[in-house]
Amino acid sequence: MFNEENLLKELTFKAVRSSGRGGQNVNKVSSKVELVFDLKASVELNDTQKQRLLNKLQNRLTKDGILLLQCDESRSQHKNKDLVIDRFLNLIKTGLIEPKKRKPTKIPKSVIRKRLKYKRWLSEKKAGRKKPDVD
């Protein structure tokens, strides 16, 4: 997989002024945290992992392959940083999960027989509704 500590060393954080609640505190404290991760330049991830993440996270990446996440849920900068790190790690872990290959199964013979029996019964029922031929 990958080492979380080494991956966290590749992250860049920036604190910005947050909008929303906080009253006068909003105008002077930079509590919103922005996380920047350059996926293409990552040393910790191998090429196959990078390619899988590029495919899975293509809607969240910039054209240069940079992932931007931000958090301003809390009034505390430290809590926002912890939250954005948790989101980042969760995003990377879920993006690296390989989907299981589907194994096609055979249709059981009993199911086929049941379907054909039902079709035969339905056709006989409808045939019974027709007017008899007078010859």
Contacts of 17 (CB under 8 A, 6+ apart): 26, 27, 29, 30, 31, 32
Calpha distance 37→39 (Å, rounded): 6
Can you tell me whether residue 90 is helix, strand or coil?
Answer: helix
34-79 pLDDT, tens per residue? Answer: 999 998 888 888 999 999 999 999 999 999 889 999 998 888 889 9
Percent of the chain past pLDDT 90, that is, above it, reads 54
93-118 pLDDT, tens per residue? Answer: 999 998 899 999 999 999 999 999 99
**Tokens representing residue 99 in the block:** 């989907």
The phi, psi pair for 62, rounded to 5°, reads -80, 175
3-42 pLDDT, tens per residue? Answer: 888 888 888 998 888 776 666 666 677 888 999 999 888 8
Calpha distance 71→84 (Å, rounded): 6
The phi, psi pair for 95, rounded to 5°, reads -70, -25
**Per-residue pLDDT at 135 exceeds 90:** no
Q: What is the pTM of this model?
A: 0.70
67 and 39 Cβ atoms separated by less than 8 Å: yes
The answer regarding whether domain 4-95 maps to CATH 3.30.160.20 reads yes
Calpha distance 119→114 (Å, rounded): 9
Select from 63, 43, 67 the least CA-distant residue to 53: 67
